[in-house]
Structure 1
């Protein structure tokens, strides 16, 4: 069965490792047939002053050229040019030009910030104790629904319940929040990813959770798989486990964007 990952990173961000070529070669060695390289799109200095969580704007064209060169070098793997674009909502301070993202075949829509607070940053975990999981979970899903309902050019909604990363859970049943997220996704016509990295955080389960993933499946939301690798050695981590999780949730195929803007399906066996 084909292996794909639609969410990967490189050393173009300060918290990643490896070059584009190293990432691609690791994917080829793991028999991956399609890889999207989705570096964190540049944030402003006000949001990311040290360019730690996003790629410096000065390196954007170099990054694009690197991915294009890898495609020229390797004809035995489909390489998609992508980026991971943070949703900042009313706090957005970047100005995007018309067609700025047209060259990207995959644009991951991500929520890493709740009212400019990077809730998944280990250095800022104390805010969880100050505010409490209940309030943060409610606000996160409000922001996530705003993100998926926006007019930004997102191809795939990444790690839908990233808010659980550190293992902080609400005191209430999150199912109403899940259903709001699913409804917003259906209305937007967008797809989601099963992100395998969650199995290696404190939450100890993929993003999204089995319950949320099953809700997406019942609503007919297409789903792909991403490893969120920030190191070439992790490029294929848990892809097959991710396929099994999709099957258990009711999915029978993995959806994969293509270079021509279309979609194809891989049957889960």
Structure 2
């Protein structure tokens, strides 16, 4: 049975659904664990228009508590988490978030380059009209490497999100991937196979097959997640993802409780 650890709630302002709807969908999908991991608040509010605010944290914890109550009769385990954005110098803020609750895991993600450039926002495509693709990829993977090396996160979210709209440098991409994967190997962070990419412009899971194979060869652990922003997307394409994971060389998936990782055979 699968665990879906990357999901959202309406508190992030770009997702929909109730705790009951998400739990029902997770039960229908046959999940063993459903992790709630909405976009964490950032300092300097308003930071953007697609994440929880600091004042929303009590409502978020209530949302998780309601999901747990609804899930209990079904034998479904609810995990509590946050998806945290990485910026240079953000470490004290992440440590502050860690202290707010007994999270089961934190997902680290890179959604911004430069000072505050959104590269994956479909409403801000002007970024790609004025950006050199190789420069953007270099900066993205440097940030991803630093995030992985920080040791602050259990899961590295949608590793090659930078390709979301299909913009990639030419040639072999391994020199972007290798430093980030080595940082993950040293810190013990887990790679996420995120199925949402199949439904975006890149039409490919995050991360690509080459990076998945490299990660498997290095012994980096794996989770499979949907990045669901609505209940019907919980557990989406997990059998397809598991088949890809096996072909890439993975034999196990990771689960988390109170920050600790446990490995189980791929379903």
* TM-score over 0.5 (shorter chain): yes
Query: Which residue is equivalent to 1:53?
Result: 50
1:40 — aligned with what? 39
Question: Which digits, 9 at most, give the CA deviation of each residue in 1:50-94, with x for residues without a partner?
Answer: xx2211221111111221232133221011011101111147895
Cα gap change, 1:91/1:156 in structure 2, threshold over 3 Å: closer, same or farther? Answer: closer
Contiguous gaps of at least 5 residues in structure 1: none
- Indicate if the aligned counterparts of 2:4 and 2:33 stay in contact, CA closer than 8 A: yes
| Deviation, structure 1 residue 129 | 2.1
TM-score, length-normalised on structure 2?
A: 0.92
Tell me the residue number matched to 1:129.
129
TM-superposed deviation, 1:206: 0.6
Distance 1:47 1:186, change over 3 A: farther
TM-score (norm 1): 0.91
Unaligned runs of 5+ in 2: none
Decide which moves more: 86-95 or 208-217. Answer: 86-95
Cα gap change, 1:4/1:94 in structure 2, threshold over 3 Å: closer, same or farther?
Answer: closer
1:263 to 244, 261, 264: 261
Given the superposition, is the C-alpha separation of residues 29 and 209 from structure 1 closer, same or farther in structure 2, using an over 3 Å criterion? same
User: What residue number does 2:191 align with?
Assistant: 192
* Matched residue SS, 2:123: helix
Shift of 1:8: 0.5
Task: Give the ranges of 4+ consecutive aligned residues of structure 1 lying more than 4 Å apart after TM superposition.
Answer: 91-96
Kept after mapping to 1: 8 A contact 2:7/2:229: yes
Judged with a 3 Å threshold, the aligned counterparts in structure 2 of structure 1 residues 45 and 97 are, in CA distance, closer, same or farther, namely: closer
**Secondary structure in structure 2 of the residue aligned to 1:265:** strand
Contact 1:156 1:192 in 2 (8 A): yes
